[in-house]
Amino acid sequence: MTFSSIVLQFINGLAGTSSLFLVAAGLSLIFGVTRIVNFAHGSFYMLGLYVAYSAIGFFGTTILGFWGGIVAAALVIGVLGAVIEILVLRRIYQAPELFQLLATFAVVLVIKDAALGIWGPEDLLGPRAPGLRDAVTILGGNVPQYDLALIVIGPLVLAALWLLLNRTRFGILIRAATQDREMVAALGVNQKHLFTAVFFLGSLLAGLGGAVQIPREPAQLFLDIAVIADAFVVVVVGGLGSIPGAFLAAFIISVVKAFCIGIGDVTILGFDVSFSKLTLVVEFVIMAIVLVVRPWGLLGRPQGQQRGAGMLSQPLPQIGRRFLLIAGSIVVLLALLPALGDRYLLVLLIDILIFALFAASLHFLIGPAGMVSFGHAAYFGLGAYGAALLLKQAGLPMELALLLAPLVAGAGALLFGWFAVRLSGVYLAMLTLAFAQIVWSIAFQWDAFTGGSNGMVGIWPAEWLSSRTVFFYLTLIVCLGAVAGLWRILYSPFGYAMRAGRDSPLRAEAIGIDVRSVQWFAFAIAGLFAGIAGALFAFSKGSISPDLLGIPRSVDALVMVLLGGVQTLVGPVVGAAIFTWLQDEIARATEYWRAILGLVILLLVIAFPQGIAGFAGRLLARRRSAQS
Amino acid sequence: MLSLRNLHACYGQAHILADVSLDVGAGEVVVLLGRNGAGKSTTLKSIMGLLPPHSGEIHFDGARIDGKAPHDIARLGLGYVPEDRRIFTDLTVEENLEVGRQAERAKTPLWTPERVFALFPNLAEMRHRSAAQMSGGEQQMLAIARTLMGNPRLLLLDEPSEGLAPVIIAQMARSIGELKSQGLTVLLSEQNLHFASQVADRAYVLEKGRIRYQGAITELANDPDARRAYLSV
């Protein structure tokens, strides 16, 4: 690389910093004050692009029209954020943090379909900025003028935010509430107004971050999830709640990415290394390194012990005779279903069973082990890919591939878990997301081995398992057996140690439990069981694709667990059944199934903050206490 | 000015307060005495709306306040200083005061940073210092100063002497005396009978969530039986 190309890549990175910083700063502010991990933040960014596109189209492509359109878009998104806070989140501040997460994810679904409905599925590329359409020559290379404008915008907003936070009453209240919001309320500050205002500000920044990208990047529907992952990484690398940290992290990540693209494909020590392909992973690698070296981020401060993301954990119920009786009858009923001869029902049931196991394995991790994972699909996908690769690349018989594939997932979980258990709370969740994204990127890009974005086809079960009915029985036996095995572990000495470590790490260590090892092992178990589900899934569909590992699938599992109720044993199974069935039903009825699903989730979250099974359990308990 | 009637409060399944009734008159300094876990902090938190009472009524200046949100209760003129001080350590001393600042209230003298610094001169010297770098006594003073910035008419002080050096406790007693002479009403909780008898007019003694004794603080100080029964460890 020459000196001039180094400088040019550096400028490129600086230009990318601004937008990333704007989004991350908004996310950080919202999390700091409201303690909500706002999944919908990426959707605000995406909407910022779309609204800017329309607003500039409306105002006309003059200098005033362009910048006026960008400001208008930011304001519209700010107001939208405030409205969502008032309509949805305000009702669930008392609910466990994970439920708030679920609600924001439902908002993601609704916004995605709203954007699809309003702007259609085509990518929309905005006009170039009037007056900044040309490029300047720096050291022999061309740099777009607009990039230079972006380089100025980021630090300007950073300075404005610094002034706001340090020189105004509103900013001082934000910082105070970030530390102790209850005390702020006891001093006479109306929290509702503060929260709404912070949501307005944070959403405005996300909208602005999207809007300023309009000349550089088309408005696209997949941006919501892509951007939220980026923003998580920036916030975590910079340190939760630190605005300068967010800027520093955005800068580092953008510059490293720019250099990866700039270096391109090179040969190092005889190996062909494609740096440009690394861009998808590199930010997650940076995050993983930072979190292991400095678990609270570059400029963040160490936080107190966070555990289970603020959940009140209750003892698990004892499995009684009645429970076994009911569970047994359901199994018998399921076993009789193939007699109906409804092929479609069997396909749906196989899906439900597989996802019930997947959800149960995530519940094992979130509930009893107290570790929230945003990236559990990594292990589901590793199981699926393991099965496919063992079958196709290693040429093993299907039975052996099915048997060994979960070990692939378990090994992955063992590796990633070693890093993950060093963290807790939101940081742990973000790291799991990062690992899932790394696995996804590898599967997505390694065309020769994994089939790249196309995935692999022809992964069919062995001859004797090829009929739907037989495969259904295989799934029934394996999934129910695995779920029962997971439950059995919860009531073993290991399960007690795990739950003790969640409830009070200090006391658990004082009585001789090696909490970190227990958590590590629990992480691996959860991964292994997710792998079983993944391997079955691969054989039930006959094909695999990187989607299996994606963030949306991880979130699906979270939704199943939380929908069913994280405090209960059967919750995840119930949640998986309802979610899979609902998704199937709605997807057949309308193109806008995501919006419907999102609205259903929102309704459920607001109506049943304990989850469906949790709600039913409390209803039962109330009836029982009323009888006695 | 403040009256609690048959107050019950619970944390989950645990019943903390049972049938607590008490009154604080305008201009009085009243102390809630009791051992650890007797329910003193819970009483103050219930008044402030931080732990909504299970049943019973709380009236402040004739208006019923139980069930209201904490910030509404604070704006009516109740100032709360929590037991663990809960200083915003990420903020400077001046910024802490700013968080507590509220609009002027009719018939109540307005507190400004200057007036607060006159009451606690140590704070004036460190107004730009981060609250994280303050000693326990200084943090306690800042906690009171911060609450005064809301111009309260009644101050709820949760164990102001806890964990402080004797010389600071003496200073704290003088400050409370001064607040009283300026017409502020105070309800404080304490375990330190000596400190309480320096500042308070009347006392209630809580034991296991119930009021066991009430009377002038001088009576209690001179009643060895009552002291032994409710306060000695």
Structural domains in chain A plus CATH codes: 10-256 (no CATH), 330-627 (1.10.3470)
Q: What is the mean pLDDT of residues A154-177?
A: 95
Interchain contact, B86 vs A180, CB within 8 Å: yes
Percent of residues in chain B assigned helix, strand, coil, to nearest 5: 35, 25, 35
B155-170: burial string, b at 16+ Cβ within 10 Å, e else: bbbbbbbbebeeebbe
**Structure-token match 């992952």, residue found:** A229
For A541-591, where are the E strands, in sequence order?
Answer: 543-544
Residue A135 has a pLDDT of: 86
Residue B15 has a pLDDT of: 85
Interchain contact, B70 vs A180, CB within 8 Å: no
Cβ(A534)–Cβ(A409) below 8 Å: yes
Q: Which of residues 184-203 of A touch B (CB under 8 A)?
A: 184-191
Residue A384 has a pLDDT of: 95
| Cα torsion angle, A549, A552, A558, A561, sign | negative
Would you say residue A235 has pLDDT above 50? yes
| Cα torsion angle, B182, B187, B188, B194, sign | positive
**Got the DSSP string for A369-383?**
T----S-THHHHHHH
Contacts 24+ apart (CB under 8 A), A512-518: A516/A421, A516/A422, A518/A494
∠A303-A305-A309 over CA atoms, to 5°? 100
Q: Is A160 on the interface with B (CB under 8 A)?
A: no
Interchain contact, B95 vs A176, CB within 8 Å: yes
Residue A527 has a pLDDT of: 97
| Cα torsion angle, A584, A586, A587, A589, sign | positive
Q: How far is B205 from chain A (nearest CA, A)?
A: 25
Q: Which of B69, B86, B95 sits opposite A172 (nearest CB)?
A: B95
Q: Give the separation between CA A115 and CA A23, rounded to whole angstroms.
A: 19
Residue A308 has a pLDDT of: 35
Interchain contact, A182 vs B70, CB within 8 Å: yes
Cβ(B118)–Cβ(B175) below 8 Å: no
Q: Which pLDDT band holds residue A427 (cuts at 50, 70, 90)?
A: confident
Would you say residue A594 has pLDDT above 90? no
Interchain contact, B150 vs A183, CB within 8 Å: no
B71: nearest CA partner in chain A = A188
Q: Where does residue B196 rank: exposed (0-12), middle (13-18), buried (19+ CB within 10 A)?
A: buried
Main-chain phi, psi angles of A37, to 5 degrees: -85, 100
List, in sequence order, the alpha helices (H) in A37-96.
41-59, 63-87
- Could you count the other beta carbons within 10 Å of the beta carbon of residue A339? 8
Q: Is A179 on the interface with B (CB under 8 A)?
A: yes
Would you say residue A402 has pLDDT above 80? yes
Q: How far is A209 from chain B (nearest CA, A)?
A: 28
Closest CA to A503 of A295, A305, A304: A305
Q: Which pLDDT band holds residue A305 (cuts at 50, 70, 90)?
A: very low
B45: nearest CA partner in chain A = A186
Residue A391 structure tokens: 């079958």
Q: Which of A180, A183, A187 sits opposite B150 (nearest CB)?
A: A187
B2-230 fold: Rossmann fold (3.40.50)
Residues in chain B: 233
Quick one: what percent of chain A has pLDDT higher than 70? Answer: 96
List, in sequence order, the alpha helices (H) in A393-514.
398-420, 425-445, 447-450, 468-490, 493-503, 505-510
* Phi-psi map region of A257: left, alpha, beta (phi>0 left; psi -120 to 50 alpha): alpha
Cβ(A548)–Cβ(A557) below 8 Å: no
Q: Which of B75, B90, B98 sits opposite A188 (nearest CB)?
A: B75
Closest CA to A501 of A527, A528, A523, A530: A523
Interchain contact, A184 vs B99, CB within 8 Å: yes
- Residue A626 or A40, more confident: A40
- Cβ neighbors of A243 (< 8 A, separation 6 or more) are A25, A28, A29, A158, A161, A162, A165
This model of the complex carries an ipTM of 0.93
* Mutation target among B88, B142, B154 for the A interface, most CBs of A within 10 A: B88
List, in sequence order, the alpha helices (H) in A542-570.
551-564
Q: Which residues of A touch B80 (CB under 8 A)?
A: 186-187
Q: Is A420 on the interface with B (CB under 8 A)?
A: no
User: In this predicted structure, which of A41-55, A408-422, A442-456, B155-169 has the lowest mean pLDDT?
Assistant: A442-456
Q: Which of A169, A180, A189 sits opposite B71 (nearest CB)?
A: A189
Q: Which residues of A touch B96 (CB under 8 A)?
A: 176
Mean pLDDT of chain A: 88
A174: nearest CA partner in chain B = B99
Distance of CA B57 to the CA centre of its chain: 19
Q: Where does residue A329 rank: exposed (0-12), middle (13-18), buried (19+ CB within 10 A)?
A: exposed
**CA distance to A51, A262, A451, per residue, from A274 (Å):** 36, 11, 17
Cβ(A281)–Cβ(A230) below 8 Å: no
Q: Which residues of B touch A183 (CB under 8 A)?
A: 82, 86, 88
Instruction: Name residue B23's amino acid.
Output: D
Give SS3 for A448.
Answer: helix
B99: nearest CA partner in chain A = A173
Task: Find the helix packing angle between A275-293 and A243-263, rounded to 10°.
Answer: 150
Q: Give the separation between CA A337 and CA B20, rounded to whole angstroms.
A: 61
Residue A479 has a pLDDT of: 94
Would you say residue A311 has pLDDT above 60? no
A190: nearest CA partner in chain B = B71
Q: Which residues of B touch A300 (CB under 8 A)?
A: none
Residue B140 has a pLDDT of: 94
Q: How far is A176 from chain B (nearest CA, A)?
A: 6
Q: Which of B88, B98, B146 sits opposite A169 (nearest CB)?
A: B98
Q: Give the separation between CA A130 and CA A154, rounded to whole angstroms.
A: 20
Interchain contact, A185 vs B71, CB within 8 Å: yes
Q: Which of B71, B99, B150 sits opposite A176 (nearest CB)?
A: B99
- Residue A429 or A482, more confident: A482
| Cα torsion angle, B215, B219, B221, B227, sign | negative
- Cβ neighbors of A279 (< 8 A, separation 6 or more) are A257, A260, A261
B103: nearest CA partner in chain A = A188
Interchain contact, A185 vs B70, CB within 8 Å: yes
Residue A201 has a pLDDT of: 97
Q: Which of A173, A178, A183 sits opposite B86 (nearest CB)?
A: A183
- Cβ neighbors of A50 (< 8 A, separation 6 or more) are A115, A118, A119, A124, A219
Instruction: Name residue A362's amino acid.
Output: L
Q: Give the separation between CA A235 and CA A25, rounded to whole angstroms.
A: 7
Residue A289 has a pLDDT of: 85
Q: Give the separation between CA A38 and CA A224, rounded to whole angstroms.
A: 12
Residue A613 has a pLDDT of: 65
Q: Is A176 on the interface with B (CB under 8 A)?
A: yes
Q: Give the separation between CA A324 and CA A336, rounded to whole angstroms.
A: 18
**CA distance to A275, A510, B37, B195, B219, per residue, from B40 (Å):** 64, 31, 7, 16, 20
- pLDDT tens-digit map of B118-150: 999 989 999 999 998 999 999 999 999 999 999
User: In this predicted structure, which of A413-422, A458-467, A493-502 has the lowest mean pLDDT?
Assistant: A458-467
Q: Give the separation between CA A598 and CA A590, rounded to whole angstroms.
A: 14
Q: Which pLDDT band holds residue B79 (cuts at 50, 70, 90)?
A: very high
For chain A, report the end-to-end CA distance as a whole number of angstroms.
80
Residue B155 has a pLDDT of: 96
| Cα torsion angle, A183, A188, A190, A195, sign | negative
Q: Is A182 on the interface with B (CB under 8 A)?
A: yes
Q: Is A169 on the interface with B (CB under 8 A)?
A: yes
Q: Give the separation between CA A261 and CA A351, rounded to whole angstroms.
A: 40
Q: What is the mean pLDDT of residues A80-87?
A: 96
Q: Which residues of A touch B98 (CB under 8 A)?
A: 169, 172
Cβ(A576)–Cβ(A359) below 8 Å: yes
What does the radius of gyration of chain B's CA atoms come to, in whole angstroms?
Answer: 17
Q: How many CA atoms lie within 13 A of A92 on its CB side?
A: 27
Residue A611 has a pLDDT of: 67
**Got the DSSP string for A593-606?**
HHHHHHHHHHHHHH
Q: Which residues of B touch A180 (CB under 8 A)?
A: 86, 88
Interchain contact, B90 vs A188, CB within 8 Å: no
Interchain contact, A186 vs B82, CB within 8 Å: yes
Q: Give the separation between CA A431 and CA A424, rounded to whole angstroms.
A: 10
**Got the DSSP string for B101-139?**
-----TTSPPP-HHHHHHHSHHHHHTTTSBGGG--HHHH
Q: Give the separation between CA A443 and CA A551, rounded to whole angstroms.
A: 14
Residue B26 has a pLDDT of: 94
User: In this predicted structure, which of A43-52, A267-276, B166-175, B201-210 has the lowest mean pLDDT?
Assistant: A267-276
Q: Give the separation between CA B54 and CA A583, rounded to whole angstroms.
A: 42
Residue A307 has a pLDDT of: 36
Q: Give the separation between CA B23 and CA B7, rounded to whole angstroms.
A: 12
Any idea where the domains of chain B sit in the sequence?
2-230
Q: Which residues of A touch B146 (CB under 8 A)?
A: 187
Interchain contact, A188 vs B150, CB within 8 Å: yes
Q: Which pLDDT band holds residue B115 (cuts at 50, 70, 90)?
A: very high
Give SS3 for A268.
Answer: strand
Interchain contact, A187 vs B100, CB within 8 Å: yes
| Cα torsion angle, A518, A523, A524, A526, sign | positive
Q: Which of B70, B96, B98 sits opposite A186 (nearest CB)?
A: B70
